[in-house]
Chains A and B, each alone.
Chain A
Amino acid sequence: MTLLSHGGAPPGGKEEPVLSPPGNDANAKRERRQIFWTRLDLKVSPYLFISPFFILFAIFGLFPLVYTVWVSLHDWTLLGGNQGFVGLDNYVRLVQDGKFWNSLYNTFGIFVIAVVPQLLLAMYLADTLSRKVRAVNFFRMGLLLPYLTSVAAVAIVFSQLFGTQFGLINYALGFFGIDPINWQGGTFSSWVAIAVMVDWRWTGYNALIYLAAMSAIPRDIYEAASIDGASRTRQFWQITVPMLRPTIIFTVIVSTIGQMQLFTEPVIFGGVAGGTQGQFQTTMMLIFEEAFRFNNYGYGSAIAWTLFMLVVVLSALNALLSSRIKGA
């Protein structure tokens, strides 16, 4: 016990003043100063140590966020700067803007056909690799490799694979008698192409997260289940999946946030306009087009802020659902 209480005391212990001989004024002063600094150290140092992140976040995260609101309430051009306060005009325009709704439709569409198969596949891969497999470390490393390549490189290579007349994929489909698909031309086909790029890069990443979570599930549960005669599949659905719930929810939230801001892959696939009629123009691309190509900073900011609010709402919804599920 004594040991414990000593260990628990802060370094340079508070008992010291009691030990100092009374009456020695200079000594007492010095000790008081020490106490002051020690206390200050204990209270302030932790904040000081974590402050770099928050200072940087305030400058490069929070300030732009708030400033964007300010810009979005103005007629603001890239070149001319502030052209006057317009109130909510930019938001009124946004609600009536077909291109904005089209971009949201595209963003959600790509989200659905990218994230759902991605997480299912990640789960399947993680489950496979959590069993006894030969060269398991090799495969686990392999999962992470696509994540290490740059998004731009991935998008450039895949854009060529998805070429209409000279792409490898259409060439391969030709062997099965399928006519060349104009990947960039159609709405759904372009979504598929982009979803493939996204999934190629992120499936392994999510699989690793699942794998880590799976290894934390106590083995004895599985052992008990197999003694009771539960099959592998049954064990997966009734033990693995329920135990992974928090992890699944985490990956869903992170993927949602990421996918709502999808930009690089579709831009490299077919430019900021997202195809001849905006077949795959995501909301981020529309923001970029308005702000940097059409010079319309104010309107671009209004779209950006709306997208941000949407991400917040979706994340909140996710969090709500997850607490419900946990409670159940």
Chain B
Amino acid sequence: MRTFERRHWKMAAATLGVVTLLSTAACSGGGDDAAEDGKITLTVDTFGVFGYDELFEQYMEENPNIVIEENNVTDLNADYVPQLQQNIAAGSGAGDIVAIEEGIVQQFFLSQGDNFVDLAEYGAADLEENFLPWKWEMGKGPNGEIFGLGTDIGGMSMCYNKTLFEDAGLPTDREEVSASWETWDDFIEVGKKFQKADTGASFISTVTPYFNAINAQSGSHTFFDTDNNLVAETNPVIKDSWALVEKMVDEGLSANLPMWSDEWNAGIQNNVFATLPCPAWMLGHIENTAGESGRDQWDVASVPGEGGNWGGSWLAVTTQSEHPEEAAKLAMFLTSPEGQISAWNAANTLPSSPQALEDPAVTEFTREYFNEAPVGEIYATTAKELKPVYYGIHNAQVSEEFRKALEAMEQGQVSPEEAWNQAIEGAKRASGQ
């Protein structure tokens, strides 16, 4: 009987043990950063193409105790921003280092600054001269904290598919192409000629990138004023860019491929559209997507209208990071002028550092894939005169609403007036204003 009694206890203890084990196991998923072998794993969250592969390898070689993992997604507004926002709000799941794009810089640095490490604590304050003044300023928090170190800036050009231009009987030389579209109205005229030639391809993929590019050229503010009031309905910048893309739809220039979708990427591979606004980072996307089939297909001309900045990012260290010091060091390494030049060589992400912008590695760079286009010269010459745009804290959400409305108009689901109303209603809802 004694043994029997003891067995009871064992059973009860075992049951309790299983219960506690299960509940703790369920609670403690993840969070095993500190590997047993003493190595520190740093996670870097990025989107699109950053060109960091070589830099990561170099850094891991120089710092054998560091292991770097990159979490990369393609679509910024639809995937990256909501995910990052959840992880920041939940207090876990975000990388040690996260990339913050121009369109969400206010959303994160101004309204959620307490989730980011002030990099001044790790000596970033001395780095000011490594960045263009506006880039440096936009990386700051509400009280002057240094939350973000600039990676790249967008700059702007217009990529065009040389083979398709030739098929349509249009000039193919990049100087001539640039001269043919001084303004956006000229651009639409060229588009009409292109469509008339009936090559089977379309002049533009979808209106969204044009809408973004034209907004970026304003150099002021877009959906929100600098006090974060929703002004999309009245801001002439938005009205003008809307009118221009509406005209592109009217003239039937669009292939109706929703931007960043699989269909859109397939469109790049299959050469079914002839132009694409190209901030510097877009070159990497075209090359990665089209692969060998796109070699020497594309070339780079200047953008209609004035220069402008679309995109570009900052690296920030989250307070969730268990190794803020190591993460800060890595962020400073990646954003140093040398790091930016390396990223430029890998992916043509246009440096935000004046030193790097003057470096021959940038200014004399020609991109073989794009018919040897002198992309360094094209981007770097305008880079220093760029005026940044203030996007506001709900920009990512409102951009999505406008994108949906523009696509609905483009695909003929609604009239332009209905699309405008849909965009404004959606913007109000998305921003809570």
| A residues adjacent to B (C-beta < 8 A) | 11-12, 34, 37, 41, 45, 48-49, 51-52, 55-56, 59-60, 78-79, 99, 159-160, 163-167, 182, 184-185, 271-273, 275-277, 292-296
B101-150 with Cβ < 8 A to chain A: 111-112
The answer to whether B19 touches A79 (Cβ under 8 A) is: no
The answer to whether B397 touches A294 (Cβ under 8 A) is: yes
- 18 intermolecular pairs with C-beta atoms under 8 Å apart: A11-B4, A12-B4, A37-B8, A55-B19, A56-B26, A160-B262, A163-B262, A163-B266, A166-B270, A182-B411, A184-B258, A272-B78, A275-B404, A276-B407, A277-B408, A277-B414, A293-B85, A294-B430
Describe B's contact surface by its main secondary structure.
helix
The answer to whether B4 touches A293 (Cβ under 8 A) is: no
The answer to whether A59 touches B23 (Cβ under 8 A) is: yes
The answer to whether B112 touches A165 (Cβ under 8 A) is: no
Q: Please tell me which one of the listed residues B82, B89, B411 contacts residue A185 in the complex, with CB atoms under 8 A apart.
A: B411
Which residues of A have CB within 8 Å of B397? 293-294
CB distance from B427 to the nearest CB of A (A): 11
B50-92 with Cβ < 8 A to chain A: 78, 82, 85-86, 89
Number of B residues, CB within 8 Å of A? 43
Tell me, yes or no, whether B371 is within 8 Å of chain A by CB.
no
Please report the C-alpha to C-alpha distance between residue A293 and residue B79 in the assembled complex, in whole angstroms: 10
The answer to whether A276 touches B408 (Cβ under 8 A) is: yes
| B residues adjacent to A (C-beta < 8 A) | 1, 4-5, 8, 11-12, 15-16, 18-19, 22-23, 26, 78, 82, 85-86, 89, 111-112, 255-258, 262-263, 266-267, 270, 272, 397, 400, 404-405, 407-408, 411, 413-414, 422, 429-430, 432
Which chain B residue has the least Cβ–Cβ distance from A99?
Answer: B429
Having A56-B22, A276-B405, one finds 9 other A-B pairs with CB under 8 Å, namely: A37-B5, A55-B19, A59-B26, A159-B262, A165-B255, A166-B263, A167-B263, A182-B411, A276-B411
CB distance from B104 to the nearest CB of A (A): 12
CB distance from B116 to the nearest CB of A (A): 13
CB distance from B2 to the nearest CB of A (A): 9
Please report the C-alpha to C-alpha distance between residue A189 and residue B419 in the assembled complex, in whole angstroms: 21
The answer to whether A296 touches B432 (Cβ under 8 A) is: yes
Please report the C-alpha to C-alpha distance between residue A34 and residue B5 in the assembled complex, in whole angstroms: 7
The answer to whether B22 touches A165 (Cβ under 8 A) is: no
CB distance from A161 to the nearest CB of B (A): 11
The answer to whether B432 touches A295 (Cβ under 8 A) is: yes
Which residues of A have CB within 8 Å of B262? 159-160, 163, 166
Please report the C-alpha to C-alpha distance between residue A98 and residue B202 in the assembled complex, in whole angstroms: 36
Which chain A residue has the least Cβ–Cβ distance from B260?
Answer: A271
The answer to whether A165 touches B266 (Cβ under 8 A) is: yes
Count chain B CB atoms within 10 A of each CB in A55, A159, A295 and give the residue with the most: A295
CB distance from B310 to the nearest CB of A (A): 21
The answer to whether A52 touches B89 (Cβ under 8 A) is: no
The answer to whether A185 touches B23 (Cβ under 8 A) is: no
Which residues of B have CB within 8 Å of A52? 15, 18-19, 22
Please report the C-alpha to C-alpha distance between residue A45 and residue B16 in the assembled complex, in whole angstroms: 11
CB distance from A81 to the nearest CB of B (A): 9
The answer to whether B263 touches A163 (Cβ under 8 A) is: yes
Please report the C-alpha to C-alpha distance between residue A272 and residue B414 in the assembled complex, in whole angstroms: 20
Please report the C-alpha to C-alpha distance between residue A277 and residue B415 in the assembled complex, in whole angstroms: 13
The answer to whether B404 touches A78 (Cβ under 8 A) is: no
Given A56-B23, A165-B267, A185-B413, A293:B1 Cβ within 8 A = no
Which residues of A have CB within 8 Å of B413? 185, 276-277
CB distance from A183 to the nearest CB of B (A): 10
Please report the C-alpha to C-alpha distance between residue A295 and residue B396 in the assembled complex, in whole angstroms: 12
Q: Please tell me which one of the listed residues B1, B8, B404 contacts residue A273 in the complex, with CB atoms under 8 A apart.
A: B404
Which residues of A have CB within 8 Å of B422? 277
Given A52-B18, A56-B22, A79:B89 Cβ within 8 A = yes
Please report the C-alpha to C-alpha distance between residue A79 and residue B414 in the assembled complex, in whole angstroms: 35
Which chain B residue has the least Cβ–Cβ distance from A78?
Answer: B89
Q: Please tell me which one of the listed residues B8, B86, B432 contacts residue A292 in the complex, with CB atoms under 8 A apart.
A: B86
The 6 closest A-B pairs by CB, nearest first: A276-B408, A166-B266, A276-B407, A276-B404, A48-B15, A78-B89
Q: Please tell me which one of the listed residues B12, B18, B263, B404 contacts residue A164 in the complex, with CB atoms under 8 A apart.
A: B263
CB distance from A153 to the nearest CB of B (A): 14
